[in-house]
Chains A and B, each alone.
Chain A
């Protein structure tokens, strides 16, 4: 086979991903058709967009010359709410996640507990924060308490899943060694698992803190308190300079949380 080809001495690059040309063409053609259909289904009111460009420009101006003053009280109240929700929900989330995470680890938990914890995790993870917030606002009324519950619920799914995976990834030799000393289940968790998982748990909690702050600035849009509500109001009233100020504050806090959490994580490991 190769002999024939080398004697011809031509060379074309072999396809990188899809080796079978039929598959390649089907997927290429399919994507092209999809793109045409998808783009044609987007109805755009170009006049409205054109009008909006001016407003967009105003927003950019507002972003560049933010107005921190005129709505400062609202912004401050929103921020305090957001930060409170972030901290309390992360703390509550971690506290509840630890037992659920242990329960969802196959190497530690008995089958029924494992199934129960896993389904709890799946439930928490399949709905995003906003949807949970809508339901909880309907039940608990407007305000940060619904937001706190939302973020706690979301944190549980996130933290328990990753924690369970960590525990399952633990060095089984260490667990066996502790078990061999005649330690009970609780002692095994305390000695063999905790020491291995602790740094990761700290890292995950900080990471979740970061996510919770970002989310806390959003769920206000559906009435769950925090700076999102303030932002929503500002945009509704076309107060782009105040909106710009809020966005800048959010970006700044996200940056601070992200950098300090990555710093602490490195320090913890």
Chain B
């Protein structure tokens, strides 16, 4: 680690810090007006991405859960592989790839958030499915219910609160992550951050940081509120 660092820069850091700090203040409040559209985009990236991720994660979770998977030796490992791949790769890397593949813009951001969310939601959901009370499943099965009816009557009611909690939790995380996806060209606030950084407009960067923090705080509050309501 040490050999690649230019120590002159490190020694210089306090001066740099005070320099940047000086340039960051006072914030250029007028810039705020240019941020409403990116903020709306960021919100959409997070929300639509979460939606896509959750919709795909549901079947994956059922295929991955030991007690609902149709085959333990083939389908389950496949589902687990999807979960691991999605989880191990950060959404910024997903965005990097998708911008290279389908071009810059909101769509790349949405798909990146969606792909990253699949693994997260599916993992927590399949753990919830594996923890359900099997007695209730057995009882519904004993009435002569079909496979789908067993899922509908015995499994879904048991995992529904966990499902809402996980989804809202992921939405909260996604708001956080979608604020910076623009750094690699995937739209939203990060795009403004990137352009302000490249023009060394530090007083605009301050405004963006403050908007990001405010958004994160609000989304955290909303998610805590919703989670308390469903649990």
Interface size class of B (residues with CB under 8 A): 35 or more
Contact partner of A43 (CB less than 8 A), chosen from B5, B105, B209, is B105
Let me know if A141 and B96 touch, CB within 8 A. no
Number of A-B contacts (CB under 8 A): 134
* Stretch of A110-118, A184-192, A199-207, A247-255 on the interface side: A247-255
Q: Assuming A130-B183, A138-B20, is B84 touching A255 (CB within 8 A)?
A: yes
Query: Is the beta-carbon distance between B197 and A134 smaller than 8 angstroms?
Result: yes
Q: Is B32 an interface residue (CB 8 A)?
A: no
Q: B101 near A56 (CB under 8 angstroms)?
A: yes
Question: Are the CB atoms of A41 and B101 closer together than 8 Å?
Answer: no
Q: Give Cα distance in the complex from A16 to B164, angstroms.
A: 13
| Min C-beta distance of A232 to chain B, whole Å | 7
* A144 CA to B92 CA, complexed, in Å: 19
Checking B2, B16, B105, B209 against A139 with a beta-carbon cut-off of 8 angstroms, the contacting residue is B16
> A44 and B96 in contact (CB under 8 A), knowing A225-B1, A250-B89?
no
CB atoms of A130 and B88 under 8 A apart: no
Report the nearest A residue to B7, measured CB to CB.
A145
Docked Cα-Cα span, A89 to B174, in Å, equals: 25
Q: Are A42 and B90 in contact (CB under 8 A)?
A: no
Contact A42 B216 (CB under 8 A): no
**How far is A226 from B52 in the complex, measured between Cα atoms in Å?**
31
- Tell me whether A235 and B183 are in contact in the complex, defined as CB-CB below 8 angstroms, given that A85-B1, A143-B6 are known contacts: no
Given A221-B96, A225-B1, A41 contacting B88 (CB threshold 8 A): no
> Given A52-B103, A126-B213, A127-B213: A17 and B90 within 8 A (CB)?
no
- Going nearest first, the 4 A-B pairs with the smallest beta carbon separation are A141-B9, A52-B102, A145-B5, A254-B88
A selection of 20 A-B contacts at a CB cut-off of 8 Å is A38-B47, A45-B105, A48-B102, A48-B103, A49-B102, A49-B103, A52-B102, A126-B213, A130-B183, A134-B193, A139-B13, A140-B9, A141-B10, A143-B6, A221-B183, A222-B183, A228-B93, A235-B97, A254-B88, A255-B84
